Structure 1
Amino acid sequence: MTEITLDEIRSRVDQHWDAIVDLLSHKVAFAAVSAKGITGDHMRRSAEFVSDELRKLGVDTRVVQSTNPDGTPGAFEVVGSKIVDDDAPTALLYAHHDVQPVPDPSQWNTDAFTATTKGDRLFGRGAADDGGGIAIHAGSLLALGEDLGVNIKVFFEGEEEMGSPSFIPFIKAHKDAFESDVIIVADSGNWSDKIPSLTTSLRGNTAVDVIVRVLGHPVHSGQFGGPILDANTVAAMLISSMYDADGSLQIPGLKCQEPVGGLQQDIDETTLRHDAAVLPSWKLTGTDSLASRLWTKPSVSVIGFDAHPVEGSFNVLADSAAFRLSLRTAPSQRPEEAQQALTDFLKQHAPFGAVVEVKPLENGMGWAMDPSSEAVHDAQAAMTQAFGVEPINKGEGGSIPFIPELQKLFPQAQVLVTGPEDPQSNAHSPNESISLYGLRNNIIAEALLMRALAR
């Protein structure tokens, strides 16, 4: 295999840089919001664009519509391969071409679906999540050209932002398209735009809907308020009972674990406060390292609450309240186990004899990297070369449930989770952006990684 130096790869990426940014800009313009309908023409066009771009790079791709578990039509998926040598190892490249909605365009400083460069950042919905992942894969293939050295398979998903309901049925129906030695999932992020990272773990997730009842029907607050609390207040008391004085969860049965592979560097509190727009008066909750609190310890969030709006409210005690809890679990804990622990706690801590009903919702398993695998060492070396600094591995508090499912279906494959994001990317939020400096080096790192895998 012909040796290619770092300088040669960097030169090739620079040579093709305008084409890479142009691809990403066009991808943003497709406004591939899966929440508007995964079977819509806008999603089909997005998939066809990605497929066409990869075909220009020598990857034999096609767009296939998946089928949901109930038999209804599913998302438009991009699958394909480029076989260079039957005896060479195979890398599966994953990204997703669907994006999050833009509920309030007025919160954006630019048009959300027009890629706009400001300084070193390119703004637009999906510029980072996960158009950046598509650009990394395409850019590395473009840079390597005929010097690839490994066989490539691709899967670019069309429903990741909707929870991937047809993902597993699709894999089982097209298993040959996923058989590989290494799976590179470019849907995460780096420590910063200047410091690369491998994602070492992902928390799992589960959710429940809770209904709290205190009355058979609403009653007048002046006539009955005092000995009877309204359901909203009781729901708030139930929610607060999950936490101790430090703000740590105190739910028996929820597991905690330390950062996978050891903690190389804790998260800087000042940076965290800035990135999350934390109010100056707010004291961060929980104990132990910030990294463990964000990556490997459980957390519960109220993500929905049904109550009468302030506008038009009147003097009535609410008879019932409903809310939805999202529980992020430690990477190693089965989500069903955590869901049951949460359910048991809520029912056992019903304030003042209120009736509490808990409806279980979907579960997603967490994931932990094997820090001793050969592919991990190759990826870390490639990142060090590309960025000029050693990577700081990090976990993610979010969940990508299909990764453990992939690992279960293909236990022989080594999984690497990389990605285009950094703490300023604002994925899922207004003014989403990608660092062009980071994108360039991520492409170089992936090209180096594939050359290492070939060796």
Structure 2
Amino acid sequence: MGEQSAGSARPEGVESAVRAAVDAQFAATLDELQRLVRIPSVSWPDFDHAHLAASAQEIAELLRGTGIFDVVDIRRAPLDGQEHEAEPALGQPAVVARREARNGRPTVLLYAHHDVQPPGDEAAWETPPFEPSERDGRLYGRGAADDKAGVMAHIGAIRALAAAAAETGRELELGIALFIEGEEEWASQSFGNFLREQRELLAADAIIVADSSNWDETTPALTVALRGAVACNLRVETLDHASHSGMFGGAVPDAMLATVRLLDTLWDADGAVAVPGLASADLAVPEYDEARLRRETGLLDGVSPIGRGEILSRLWAQPAISITGIDAPSIAHASNTLIPSTRVRLSARIAPGQDPESAYAALRAHLEAHVPFGARLSFEDAGLGQAFLVETSGWAVAEVRGAMADAWGTDPVDIGVGGSIPFIAELVTEFPDAQILVTGVEDPDGRAHSPNESLHLASFKKSLLTEALFLARLDARTAD
């Protein structure tokens, strides 16, 4: 697909009609979002995946209802690594759609995901996680922000664009493709195969990945840096069977002692990562103080932040390591025994620019070099995800920044994100000439993945309008 010209005509009449359509349709869009939130579409293995099929079907019907697509379908692909099996295991259902561009207009691919995180401790929710509740200008519910609001931002923007074209007597000429994934929260395990199988359907000049955040409730943001991810299960063994802690404690190291001593070597006294070979990136960061960190994270009074350097540098450009799970006897089932083995889940975020394979090698080498008491280590279920840096010089970045400024009434901020979206690297591999824009509908108080996840409704409307204006400007854009 040819590169587009450096600017596009501003279709002023259409843009006024787009704004009017967003206003007129917003209540219906919000109702549809709430309908999606009521579907508990959790993609983790222990949940009922019939709900994923139901949410995919609901979204497909919404897309068919726009009346603008040549193709709307629900498709699955083999899990990555299973593509050559006689009966491969399949990934979760994804919704795809496409309309071809006319008269030299570009094509844009809109990505979001319809699966959600598990609800977690339902007792920690103020209202049930899958019963959307609106209060104080926010919509609460699992997936309300991450990422069913991203799905509805795409659908709402498309409908507003179509309505504006009809209102002004214009023929809609922009090419639009959609990929609404069904397993992003479970590591996008069929993503690579899906892209390869559906390459022709999804090919585009620009790609919007609507799965990030804005700077705050009144300021839009374009995500230009994402940390990569390295995760694995670490097993620590010191005994071939449990032994009486009174009889042998003090002479025999149990696995929990070895695990605690070993894990403590991963950080220095400031809580900064102390693993040689895990790099940092040189990123300029906006001002962000400790008071905001405390407000946005719920850091308790008296508990100090960890790490060194600017706070946003710690979050965007430096490595971080977390222990996200431990398999060991619970307190309820504790007995006076020396524990023979433990298993922990290590989750590391790595700086933009670092290769995840080298980071995983560095992490393993550090653990093997610091294992206490000769304990035995084994590593299982490694997962590696590439970091991402956006090329910001292209026409699509300029267009989306302009649309953000006009929709929000303030200039956007370029941000990094401490989290990871590893599949973006696969988008780059499959569509090397496409410009990738990472946007989002979330805000710092949205609590994605946590109890009481919520969406700030005024920000959501502005994000939807941003995308609608962006699409309208691409619809007026001609190829060189």
> Which TM-score bucket, shorter chain as reference?
over 0.9
Give CA deviations for 1:191-228 in whole Å, capped at 9, x if unaligned.
11211101111111111222223334333333333343
Residue 123 of structure 2 corresponds to residue 114 of structure 1: no
Match of 1:194 in 2: 218
**Match of residue 46 from structure 1:** 55
Q: Which of residues 396, 408, 414 is equivalent to 2:429? A: 408
1:142 equivalent in structure 2: 159
**Separation in 1, partners of 2:317, 2:248:** 45
1:31-430 alignment, distance < 5 Å: 31-35=40-44, 40-57=49-66, 58-59=68-69, 60-69=71-80, 70=82, 71-145=88-162, 146=165, 148-259=172-283, 262-263=284-285, 265-359=286-380, 361-430=382-451
**How far apart, in 1, do the equivalents of 2:198 and 2:315 lie?**
35
Deviation at 1:127, TM superposition (A): 0.8
**In 2, Cα distance between equivalents of 1:245 and 1:67:** 45
One-letter amino acid matched to 2:429: K
Contact 1:64 1:77 in 2 (8 A): yes
Task: Give me the whole-angstrom Cα distance separating, in 2, the residues matched to 1:199 and 1:249.
Answer: 24
Distance in 2, Cα, partners of 1:253 & 1:320: 28
Q: How far apart are 1:35 and its partner, in Å?
A: 2.1
Cα distance in structure 1, aligned partners of 2:176 and 2:333: 59
What do the CA deviations read for 1:388-438 (whole angstroms, capped 9, x no partner)?
111122111111111111011111000001111111111111111111100
How far apart are the structure 2 equivalents of 1:39 and 1:101?
A: 11
Q: Deviations over 1:128-183 (max 9, x none)?
A: 11111011111111111136552101111111111111111111111101210000
| 2:21 maps to amino acid | R
1:367-395 deviation digits (Å, cap 9, x = unpaired): 11112222112111111111111112211
- What is the rounded CA distance, in whole Å, between the counterparts of 1:386 and 1:409 in structure 2? 31
8 Å contact from structure 2 (residues 120, 450) kept in 1: no
Alpha carbons of 1:185 and 1:308: their partners in 2 closer, same or farther (altered >3 Å)? Answer: same
Q: Is the contact made by 1:38 and 1:76 (CA closer than 8 Å) also made in structure 2?
A: no
CA contact (8 A) 1:212 1:231 kept: yes
Match of 1:27 in 2: 36
Whether the 8 Å CA contact 1:64–1:76 is kept in 2: the answer is: yes
CA contact under 8 A between 1:366 and 1:399: conserved in structure 2?
yes
Identity of aligned residues (%): 38
Q: CA deviation at 1:6?
A: 5.0
Given residue 236 of structure 1, which amino acid in structure 2 is its aligned partner?
Answer: V
CA deviation after TM superposition for structure 1 residue 91, in Å: 0.2
State the 1:311 CA deviation: 2.5
* Aligned residues of 1:54 and 1:138 also touching (Cα < 8 A): yes
Once superposed, what is the RMSD of the aligned Cα atoms? 1.9
Q: CA deviation at 1:359?
A: 3.2
Q: CA deviation at 1:293?
A: 0.9
Distance 1:65 1:38 in 2: 18
Tell whether the 8 Å contact from 1:339 to 1:360 is kept in structure 2 after alignment. no
Asked if the contact 1:39/1:76 (under 8 Å) is kept, the reply is no
Amino acid at match of 2:125: W
TM-score, normalised to structure 1, is 0.95
Structure 2 unaligned residues grouped into runs of 5+: 1-8, 83-87
Matched positions, count: 452
- From the superposition, tell whether residues 65 and 322 of structure 1 become closer, same or farther in structure 2 (CA, over 3 Å): closer
**Does 2:27 correspond to 1:18?**
yes
Structure 2 Cα separation of the partners of residues 399 and 408 of structure 1:
17
State how far apart, in whole Å, the 1-side matches of 2:329 and 2:128 are. Answer: 34
Query: Is the Cα contact below 8 Å between 1:206 and 1:335 reproduced in 2?
Result: yes
Instruction: Tell me if structure 2 keeps the 8 A contact 1:267–1:291.
Output: yes
- Given residue 190 of structure 1, which amino acid in structure 2 is its aligned partner? N
* Aligned amino acid, residue 233 of structure 2: D
